[in-house]
Structure 1
């Protein structure tokens, strides 16, 4: 029994550490897409950066919006800085999508906008889904 106790303590500590490292941010939907649901799952990589996995459901294809757009773009904006285009979020036939990126910012806003160009350098559409990461 005494031999098992140190291993049990180590297992508990590792479990708690892994829970502390993973974090979910629920994204708020714009009233123009009331059924849309999104979350961002955050995990630290071995370099100390944050891996961001964005998952969305019930998000209409950008071509179905009024006015129609070509793509959804994921943006990350650190405090006091301009938003940075992280890439295109693609939505499938079931109106679901996922996107992964990495950031070195400890605190930031993440949001999704409909755009005419997936390589947009500044957001022009409304923030359809948005959330904030606080340290």
Structure 2
């Protein structure tokens, strides 16, 4: 009986973890100390849940030229490039973004921008990944 419970629990954990894709962003020449990763999974409505975590990401006002925000963008198959939000700084070492999008995501990239509510990227690209 105990063995059946352990096998069932192991299968459940494996099933749940297989639904999540985790990718690390390449090292950026703009912010080389930053370690950035993205997790993406689907919810029950087939939306994409995206979680971006960054550690040691320099404040955007320390860039050359200085900027005000880090904006996260997704490149979609049918809807082009979309702004999905800002990386918020939790403390001096960690920044994050949790967001949901109905679009089928092909790429995620981060830019440093002067404004956060832009419709298209115009600032310095920090890093980019493909899903």
With the shorter chain as reference, the TM-score category is 0.7 to 0.9
Runs of 5+ consecutive residues of structure 2 not aligned to the other structure: none
Runs of 5+ consecutive residues of structure 1 not aligned to the other structure: none
The total of aligned residue pairs comes to: 131
Return the TM-score normalized by structure 2.
Answer: 0.87
Residue in 2 that maps onto 1:44: 42
2:85 aligned to which of 73, 77, 87: 87
Return the TM-score normalized by structure 1.
Answer: 0.85
CA contact (8 A) 2:90 2:96 kept: no
Which protein shows a greater Rg?
1
1:81, distance to aligned residue in structure 2 (A): 4.1
Residue in 2 that maps onto 1:74: 72
Residue in 1 that maps onto 2:15: 17
Residue in 1 that maps onto 2:97: 99
Identify the structure with the greater strand proportion: 2
How far apart are the structure 1 equivalents of 2:71 and 2:107?
Answer: 14
Secondary structure at the residue paired with 1:119? coil
